[in-house]
Homo-oligomer: A and B are copies of this chain.
Amino acid sequence: MKRWVIVAGGDLEPADLKELRREDRVIAVDGGVLPLLKAELPFDRAVGDFDTLSGEGVLALKKRGIRVEELPAEKDVTDTQYAVEQALAEGAGEILILGALGGSRFDHSLANVFLLEKVESAGVRGEIRNSHNRLRLYTGNGREMIVERGPFQYVSLLPLSERVEDLHLKGFRYPLAGATLLRSDPMGISNKVIAPRATIRASSGRLLVVESSD
């Protein structure tokens, strides 16, 4: 079960591409082809309407043997959503989305975050990452999610469902035992991991787990 990495067209720093491993399958979405070409990193597929890429650019991709899917500009799903659906349909074991945040349009960032739900619903681990942020989704079903003490300074817990019930946090600076969090009243911002491995557990609800640094 391979990891698929989707390189979307949002803000991307060269350091973000260090996440790529040789064995990953990589889909570049629209403007996401440019940083990959610049860094001379291989990728498997390019999808998008390519309004930011010339016809010559598209031809150059094809000559390199990269499968190019030119999508119409007007469609029901975003290019990134299309790429996620492809990865799921082809049996991705895990999906990492780079270039998913930032850029001028906030609707695209938000739609990408909500896509983590689609990934999770298919039983696949999803992650959005850039140099300052790592976003994962925890679905409260009694199981434990582990947050390792790592490069990120803060961990914020933001309910995506209206509420998250019976939330237990262990190994955090601000632990919780059986708490309820509401989406409309974010109380879980800027927690910190103080144990080598902290754990999150809840009985119901969906929680965005955002690790970040200033």
- Residues of A at the B interface (CB closer than 8 Å) are 76-78, 81, 101-102, 104-111, 113-115, 117-118, 121, 132-133, 135, 154, 156, 158, 160-162, 183-187, 189-190, 208, 210, 212-214
Contact = CB atoms under 8 A, between A and B. Distances in A.
13 contacts: A104-B213, A105-B214, A106-B109, A106-B210, A107-B133, A107-B154, A107-B212, A108-B189, A110-B208, A111-B189, A114-B186, A121-B184, A160-B183
B132 A104 contact: yes
Given A78-B186, A78-B189, A162-B161, A135 B106 contact: yes
Number of copies of this kind of chain in the complex: 2
Contacts of A114: 158, 183-184, 186
A113 B186 CA distance: 10
A91 to B, nearest CB: 20
A78 B212 CA distance: 15
Given A158-B111, A161-B162, A162-B161, A187 B106 contact: no
Contacts of A186: 77-78, 81, 111, 114-115
A107 B184 contact: no
